[in-house]
Structure 1
Amino acid sequence: MGKRKILKKKGKLLVFSAPSGSGKTTIVRHLLNKPYLNLEFSISATSRSRRGTEIDGKDYYFISQEAFKQKIKNGEFLEWEEVYRDNFYGTLNSEIERIWAMGKHVIFDIDVAGGLRIKRKFP
């Protein structure tokens, strides 16, 4: 396994993890519309190609498969998974640090496997 970069906890991580179609995205969007909660959505990184009107840095961070694999080796992901053959998705440590640097809490809309990985790192 590659190196691990340790995140120093500066804020909270709110994880909404459930199967597709369960309503987690609806809940997350509702909470993001409450400014007093001080939440920021965690943008995932992916090695897949952009679709339609997706915007890099808003919908996903689009990176090449080679760069994704190198970041895995460097321990730059809080969690990651190969969802389909050669299509990787994950949460960069730098994304969490970016949100915490703004003084906000991180909110995730993530699959069950990713949620469990985060829970193991931040029990």
Structure 2
Amino acid sequence: MPRSDRPRLTVLAGPTAVGKGTVAAYIREHHPEVWLSISATTRPPRPGEIDGVHYFFVSDEAFDAMVARGEMLEWAVVHGRAKYGTPRGPVDAALAAGRPTLLEIDLQGARQVRESAPDAFFVFLSPPSWDELVRRLVGRGTESAEERRARLSTARVELASVTEFDATIVNDDVQRAAEELVSWMRSTPDGKQR
């Protein structure tokens, strides 16, 4: 397949609680042609999360071994606590098979991917407002007050990185945001639809 016809890697990043996982879940359900990467993490599962579906939940030792073997496309310590990373092999295999490929990752990871895959397409998912972002984080009820403070502090810095991205999507409606993202994924580097 000529290089110009091959789907490019798309990276979705944005601040905590902006809804990256919710947008990715919508795409998983409504666009089975899109391959979504599953990240590895050292944090414990949240209620309802399934190992191998939402994340690969691994120990610190197993994660460090994957990094040492060069098996991570990107990885980072997020919010000063848990490690998150994208296993490289499945991403390479999906792209080689010609599947549109989406990474839903944090800002640190997106910056690493930009270094190793500069031809990827980078999309920033933005909240409609700061107050809405705070409401979503508090409403999740999955973090302690201390964790929320750390995540909101990080979010302020992450919001300032919007200019590093190729496109911005405001997540004011999950379906609309997801469909806009898939539309971007279907476009070629010159902006034309495939």
TM-score in terms of structure 2 length: 0.50
Contact 1:17/1:111 (<8 A) preserved: yes
Question: Distance in 2 between the 1:22 and 1:51 partners?
Answer: 17
Q: Which has the larger radius of gyration?
A: 2
Identify the structure with the greater helix proportion.
2
From 44, 53, 57, give the equivalent of 1:49.
Answer: 44
- Closer, same or farther in 2 for the Cα pair 1:30/1:67, shift >3 Å? closer
Question: Distance in 2 between the 1:56 and 1:44 partners?
Answer: 10
Map 1:36-115 onto structure 2 (within 5 A): 38-84=33-79, 87-100=82-95, 102-115=97-110
Structure 2: tracts of 5 or more residues without a match: 1-5, 119-194
- Closer, same or farther in 2 for the Cα pair 1:101/1:63, shift >3 Å? farther
Provide, for residues 22-59 of structure 1, a one-character-per-residue CA deviation record: whole Å limited to 9, x for no partner.
Answer: 45445544544245xx3111110011222322111101
**Higher RCO (C-alpha under 8 Å, 6+ residues apart):** 1
- Closer, same or farther in 2 for the Cα pair 1:56/1:25, shift >3 Å? closer
Contact 1:49/1:62 (<8 A) preserved: yes
Percent identity reads 35
Question: Distance in 2 between the 1:55 and 1:96 partners?
Answer: 20
SS of match in other structure, 1:114: helix
Q: CA RMSD in A?
A: 2.4
TM-score in terms of structure 1 length: 0.74
CA shift, 1:106, in A, is: 1.3
Structure 1: tracts of 5 or more residues without a match: 1-9
Q: Which residue pairs with 2:114 in the alignment?
A: 119
Q: How many residues align?
A: 112
Q: Which residue pairs with 2:130 in the alignment?
A: none
Identify the structure with the greater strand proportion.
1
Q: Which residue pairs with 1:6 in the alignment?
A: none
Q: 2:65 corresponds to which letter in structure 1?
A: Q
From 14, 18, 29, give the equivalent of 2:14.
Answer: 18
- Closer, same or farther in 2 for the Cα pair 1:25/1:86, shift >3 Å? closer
Q: 2:8 corresponds to which letter in structure 1?
A: K
Contact 1:16/1:110 (<8 A) preserved: yes
Question: Distance in 2 between the 1:83 and 1:67 partners?
Answer: 17
